[in-house]
A and B are shown apart, each in its own frame.
Chain A
Amino acid sequence: MPGDLRDGRIVIVGASLAGLRAAETLREEGFSGSLTVVGDEPYPPYDRPPLSKQVLLGKASADTTTLPMRRDPDADWRLGAAATGLDPLEKRVMLADGESLPFDRLLIATGTRARPWPNPEEASLDGVFTLRTSDEAGGLAARLAAGPGRVLVIGAGFTGSEIASACRERGIEVTVAERGPAPLVGALGGTLSKLAAVMQRNHGVDLRCGVTVTALRGDGNGRFIGADLSDGSRVEADVCVVALGAVRNVEWLAESGLAAGPRGVACDAGCRAFNMYGIVTDDVFVAGDVSRFPHPLFGYQMLSLEHWGNAVAQAEVAAHNMVSPGPLRRPHLAVPTFWSTQFGLNIKSVGVPTYSDHVVIAQGSLEARRLAMVYGFQGRVTAAVTVDMAKSLDYYEHLIETAAPFPPPPGAADRAIAADIPIPSDVPDPSGLSHGPTVALTGHLPDRRLTVVQPTR
């Protein structure tokens, strides 16, 4: 093999899902050199989806979500060690403890962290949480188990909605404050967000939309006791969960010369990082939530995804390409998918719902709480979301992959009358949401404003 790509030193920065899957794949593909995995948390790789679901329900403890290993990647694990910088010329990763790790090839998989409450003093009140890490989930779960009088959730994206669902399932009173017009609207568009709002209210959530939280209030002894809202109202609560979306962990790359910014680290379809001039690097690869990559099904726009499946698929492609010569490298073209369970509903998505201008309810109905909604952009199918109808998802994925015409062809037995009536998909500008979008189209479309970065307040 030229240059013997199966040997040498590989460093992976990021010890979560993408980092682990990449490490395993490197070994599966025959990499026999030295492998170092750097992670800023002191824990081995763990799974995050259960943190906002089973853990908050008290059905699992936060320290039991360790990711199973498909094989021992035979790596030198540098856990509890944050990377602080990258010297691309010397090919070294600097660590917080002053050490630096030399590499021949580097994989950046540093993911994201929860966006903190902008006022640090208020954020530090006892009872104010964010939810991203195992520690955060453990702290929040303990507080929920103690039976708070009310929980305030700021932001009704997927994380915020799942937290609210878990609270209601435990019989805890909960208020959700969302700056946008309805829960999940940034991810699913207007129609499904109406169903989400109805479900929340039916389950007893005190849902406040079109409002922002202007201040978190303490009792004078550092304990959170409530919040002020922009409509002049006050919410009294013992626990506050700030679910404002995620921040990409790119600060350590500030001096690296890579195309790293708030939307992630830009890379090509083969996961090779771009530098600040848009020139592709040969030895720095990117995977998972921190990456931003072009996708042909969505107009080659750069996509940032915070999806479990993307972290796995992209890590596998990146690892393969790190040990393969050019002609054998593969593109990362997986169709984005994600799922969520909340308020008794199983929501699954394929494609990019925000890359749409119209939607139809292709099967089922909002009234039945069971449906398949198909999203189209300029006359072709670009996404589908099912509610309690996951078995249809494969079919719609195929329509997306083949750029099938929108609206989709008739014939489904449970096709609704609504299937003939495309309505605007009503995807709002992300700047109008409390939380960040879990899918961000970070390229540029002249007629849409989906590229606006969440402004800090």
Chain B
Amino acid sequence: MDSDTLLARITDYENRPNPYPLYAELREAGPVVRQADGSYLIGTYHEIAALLHDPRMSADPRSRTAPSPSGETVKPPFLRLDDPEHHRLRTLAMRPFGPPHSPGRVDAMRGEISQLTEELMGAFHAGGQIDIVDDFAYPLPVTVICRLLGVPREDEPLFRAWSDALVASADVKPDEDSPEQDQTGNQARIEMGRYLVDLAEQRRGHPSDDLLSAFVNEPDPALRLTREDLAETAVLLLIAGHETTVNLITNGVLTLMRRPEHLDQLRREPDLLPQAVEELLRYEPPVHMRERIPHADIDVAGTTIPKGASVVLVLASGNRDPKRFHEPDRFDPTRPDNQHFGFGSGIHLCYGAPLARIEAQAALGALIPHLGTARLVQDPPPYRQNAMLRGPRHLPIQL
């Protein structure tokens, strides 16, 4: 098979349930595999790690030599900006969320998160059928991020549509960047940004205990986000705050349902749960790929990648690289050395990782006692379209 069409095959919906054989093929052909569309795929652990820490690699889509058909020129959120602007915005966004200015903020949500999982499970009854995605794995993180940001939960249908459009336009696709999809995505981003800024504005002078309030009521003018930056940052936090965690929880349930021995092990040893979540982040991560663009011609394992080229780092493949992990295709909740790319690495290392960990631990911890007698209704389940944020669209199980 041609390795220069690997990205096309990876993104082919047909292969969504199990892209891992393609990742093995990628590592075999790699470390650097040029694609027919001029982009480069990298799927080996050590090369990915080096590039994620390489200050010459840009996260900004505007660094591409060939811009996308829609001619994206607006300033992206900090996830796709480079230092020093990335650092400035990320630091400002972090102030009300985590250390050093808000230590304990996320940890203090543990009780609330457990209560939410209990409420969601209250609707389950023995013998009934549920959809892990719609009934549990989606509502949990959405509710949590809404409370944290200060977004009314009842607006969920509104931002769900925007979120879907945005995430679809941000997917990695070879050759077929459709201007329509990009246009829809941009439109959604603008509308969602406007909506969140309006919400924030309502809290100016009337702060409550949420991030939007903190952003607009920051007393130091030097630490205030501009309206434009607030819009982009709030959109990013709302979307990143739930689009990934839903996959982490769902992938976790699916993985455990397929492996009754590990399900049983975790029921007997709940203390293993934090380690098991780390293993899930390695074995079935929610984020499979990230794009980077070199600011200069760079040499990677003997191949020169030209400045401005699109480089797709296949994080989920790096997580299964046998040169880094012993028996990488084995799910092992007790794996001792597990420095995975589940949250990326380098300066863009996932900002919400502590929250995602707590949510996944709480969700799986609560579900595990109910899964022993449950069975998968459909295996593999139907997957979401997205190849970059990969996870089941539905996961029906019979309790």
Residue ranges of A at the interface with B (Cβ–Cβ < 8 Å):
362-364, 368, 370, 372, 391-395, 398, 409-415
- Given B58, B82, B296, which contacts A410 in the complex, CB threshold below 8 Å? B296
Q: A364-B84, A414-B83 are in contact. Are A372 and B296 (CB under 8 A)?
A: no
A392 with B53: CB separation less than 8 A: yes
| Besides A393-B53, A409-B296, A411-B296, 16 other A-B contacts (C-beta < 8 A) | A362-B55, A363-B83, A364-B84, A394-B50, A395-B53, A395-B55, A398-B50, A409-B56, A409-B298, A410-B56, A412-B56, A413-B56, A413-B58, A413-B82, A414-B55, A414-B84
CA distance A412 to B307 in the complex (A): 12
A372 with B55: CB separation less than 8 A: yes
Instruction: Report the minimal beta-carbon distance from B4 to chain A, rounded to whole angstroms.
Output: 26
Can you show 19 pairs from A to B with CB atoms below 8 A apart? A362-B55, A363-B55, A363-B83, A364-B84, A370-B84, A391-B53, A391-B349, A392-B55, A394-B50, A395-B50, A395-B53, A398-B50, A409-B298, A410-B56, A410-B295, A411-B296, A413-B55, A413-B56, A414-B87
Please name the 6 residue pairs, one residue from A and one from B, whose CB atoms are nearest each other, closest first: A411-B56, A411-B296, A413-B82, A412-B55, A414-B83, A394-B53
Q: Which residues of A contact B104 (CB under 8 A)?
A: none
CA distance A382 to B30 in the complex (A): 30
CA distance A332 to B358 in the complex (A): 39
Interface-central residue, A370, A394, A411, by most chain B CB under 10 Å: A411
Q: Which residues of B contact A364 (CB under 8 A)?
A: 83-84
- Given A362, A392, A412, which contacts B295 in the complex, CB threshold below 8 Å? A412
- Given B55, B87, B349, which contacts A411 in the complex, CB threshold below 8 Å? B55
| Residue B107 at the chain A interface, CB threshold 8 Å | no
CA distance A394 to B298 in the complex (A): 16
Interface of A is mostly: mixed
Q: Which residues of B contact A394 (CB under 8 A)?
A: 49-50, 53
Q: Which residues of A contact B71 (CB under 8 A)?
A: none
Instruction: Report the minimal beta-carbon distance from A440 to chain B, rounded to whole angstroms.
Output: 29
Q: Which residues of B contact A409 (CB under 8 A)?
A: 56, 296, 298
Q: Nearest A residue to B295 by beta-carbon distance?
A: A411
Interface-central residue, B58, B83, B87, B349, by most chain A CB under 10 Å: B83
| Residue B294 at the chain A interface, CB threshold 8 Å | yes
| Residue B372 at the chain A interface, CB threshold 8 Å | no
Residue ranges of B at the interface with A (Cβ–Cβ < 8 Å):
49-50, 53-56, 58, 60, 82-84, 87, 294-296, 298, 307, 346-347, 349
CA distance A364 to B88 in the complex (A): 12
Q: Which residues of A contact B55 (CB under 8 A)?
A: 362-363, 372, 392, 395, 411-415
A413 with B83: CB separation less than 8 A: yes
CA distance A413 to B87 in the complex (A): 12
CA distance A287 to B42 in the complex (A): 39
B58 with A370: CB separation less than 8 A: no
Q: Which residues of A contact B295 (CB under 8 A)?
A: 410-413
Q: Nearest B residue to A393 by beta-carbon distance?
A: B53
Instruction: Report the minimal beta-carbon distance from A143 to chain B, rounded to whole angstroms.
Output: 27
Q: Nearest A residue to B53 by beta-carbon distance?
A: A394
CA distance A166 to B49 in the complex (A): 35
Q: Which residues of B contact A413 (CB under 8 A)?
A: 55-56, 58, 60, 82-83, 295
Q: Which residues of A contact B83 (CB under 8 A)?
A: 363-364, 413-414
Q: Which residues of A contact B53 (CB under 8 A)?
A: 391-395
Q: Which residues of A contact B56 (CB under 8 A)?
A: 409-413
CA distance A362 to B346 in the complex (A): 17
B50 with A391: CB separation less than 8 A: no
A411 with B49: CB separation less than 8 A: no
Interface-central residue, B55, B87, B294, by most chain A CB under 10 Å: B55
CA distance A411 to B60 in the complex (A): 14
CA distance A42 to B136 in the complex (A): 55
CA distance A372 to B58 in the complex (A): 17
B54 with A395: CB separation less than 8 A: yes
CA distance A243 to B128 in the complex (A): 70
CA distance A409 to B304 in the complex (A): 14
CA distance A268 to B347 in the complex (A): 38
CA distance A394 to B57 in the complex (A): 14
CA distance A415 to B346 in the complex (A): 17
Q: Which residues of A contact B294 (CB under 8 A)?
A: 411
Q: A363-B55, A391-B347, A395-B54 are in contact. Are A370 and B87 (CB under 8 A)?
A: yes
Instruction: Report the minimal beta-carbon distance from B150 to chain A, rounded to whole angstroms.
Output: 30
CA distance A370 to B347 in the complex (A): 13
Interface-central residue, A362, A368, A395, by most chain B CB under 10 Å: A395
Q: Which residues of A contact B349 (CB under 8 A)?
A: 391
Instruction: Report the minimal beta-carbon distance from A419 to chain B, rounded to whole angstroms.
Output: 11
Q: Which residues of B contact A395 (CB under 8 A)?
A: 50, 53-55
Q: Which residues of A contact B296 (CB under 8 A)?
A: 409-411
Instruction: Report the minimal beta-carbon distance from A360 to chain B, rounded to whole angstroms.
Output: 13
CA distance A362 to B296 in the complex (A): 15
CA distance A412 to B63 in the complex (A): 12
Q: Which residues of A contact B82 (CB under 8 A)?
A: 413-414
CA distance A395 to B298 in the complex (A): 13
Q: Nearest A residue to B348 by beta-carbon distance?
A: A391
CA distance A394 to B349 in the complex (A): 14
A391 with B298: CB separation less than 8 A: no
CA distance A391 to B60 in the complex (A): 18
CA distance A411 to B347 in the complex (A): 16
Interface-central residue, A363, A368, A398, A413, by most chain B CB under 10 Å: A413
Q: Which residues of B contact A372 (CB under 8 A)?
A: 55
Q: Which residues of A contact B298 (CB under 8 A)?
A: 409, 411
CA distance A414 to B83 in the complex (A): 5
Instruction: Report the minimal beta-carbon distance from B197 to chain A, rounded to whole angstroms.
Output: 27
Instruction: Report the minimal beta-carbon distance from A344 to chain B, rounded to whole angstroms.
Output: 9
Q: Nearest A residue to B59 by beta-carbon distance?
A: A413
Q: Which residues of B contact A392 (CB under 8 A)?
A: 53, 55, 347
Q: Which residues of B contact A411 (CB under 8 A)?
A: 55-56, 294-296, 298, 307
CA distance A143 to B241 in the complex (A): 47
CA distance A405 to B87 in the complex (A): 28
CA distance A362 to B50 in the complex (A): 17
Q: Which residues of B contact A398 (CB under 8 A)?
A: 50
Q: Which residues of B contact A363 (CB under 8 A)?
A: 55, 83
CA distance A413 to B293 in the complex (A): 11
A391 with B84: CB separation less than 8 A: no
- Given A362, A368, A393, A410, which contacts B84 in the complex, CB threshold below 8 Å? A368
CA distance A66 to B346 in the complex (A): 31
Q: Nearest A residue to B55 by beta-carbon distance?
A: A412
Instruction: Report the minimal beta-carbon distance from B64 to chain A, rounded to whole angstroms.
Output: 14
CA distance A428 to B347 in the complex (A): 33
Instruction: Report the minimal beta-carbon distance from B55 to chain A, rounded to whole angstroms.
Output: 4
Instruction: Report the minimal beta-carbon distance from B170 to chain A, rounded to whole angstroms.
Output: 20
Q: Which residues of B contact A415 (CB under 8 A)?
A: 55
CA distance A394 to B50 in the complex (A): 7
Q: Nearest B residue to A362 by beta-carbon distance?
A: B55
Q: Which residues of B contact A370 (CB under 8 A)?
A: 84, 87
